[in-house]
Amino acid sequence: MRSVAVGPDGIARCAWADGSDDYRAYHDSEWGRAVRGDVALFERIALEGFQSGLSWLTILRKREGFRLAFADFEPAAVAEFREADVARLMDDVSIVRNRRKIDATIQNAQALLALREAEGDGALDRLVWGYAPAPRRSRPRALSDLPASTPESAALSKELKRRGFGFVGPTTMYAAMQACGLVDDHVAGCHVVAGTG
């Protein structure tokens, strides 16, 4: 598989971003950029959980639907969702309708509130960013150089599970770490690496 692809706009990107305008826009403006704050990280963790087993493009195209369905991922609101809300979500074609993932998002909102109660505002931000690895000594040259999970993502997964979070396995957490800028997995030759993105 190619490591870098030149899009129709003549810009070289990580090859996974080739093939759709949605992917290109996400790659250029979001992926690998630092995401901070409890609400923003809660949303990203939820969306990575929903993505499990699916294409990220599916989630990108449904993101606004997810935001509407899950009260803009405001943890206090989502934590109050009850069975009627779950039934509403299971009927909502604007999201991925998976009962286990919906339940996990509600569970995670409740776990986040408990974490904040114990450790104050910003607790999820501090927890997640506490597992950011040291920067790599060299940039990945190929997509095949990227791991599915790392010791840091496994440790983050274990700690989140200990805190009551669900659907946060090591692979899902590594994808979140990539998306939220804890690791920089833009490959050599990508325009973001060259400082033009």
Inside any domain, residue 190: no
For residue 169, what are the domain limits?
Answer: 35-179
Inside any domain, residue 2: no
Given the residues 16, 31, 43, 48, the one annotated as active site? 48
Number of domains in the chain: 1
Inside any domain, residue 16: no
Given the residues 26, 129, 131, 174, the one annotated as active site? 26
pTM for the model stands at 0.94
Give the model's pLDDT for residue 1: 60
Strands annotated E in 11-164: 12-14
Q: What confidence tens digit (pLDDT) does each residue in 33-86 have? A: 999 999 999 999 999 999 999 999 999 999 999 999 999 999 999 999 999 999
Structure confidence at residue 91 as a pLDDT band (50, 70, 90): very high
Active site residue 64: no
Residue 196 in this model has a pLDDT that exceeds 50: no
How far apart are the C-alpha atoms of 16 and 24, rounded to whole Å?
9
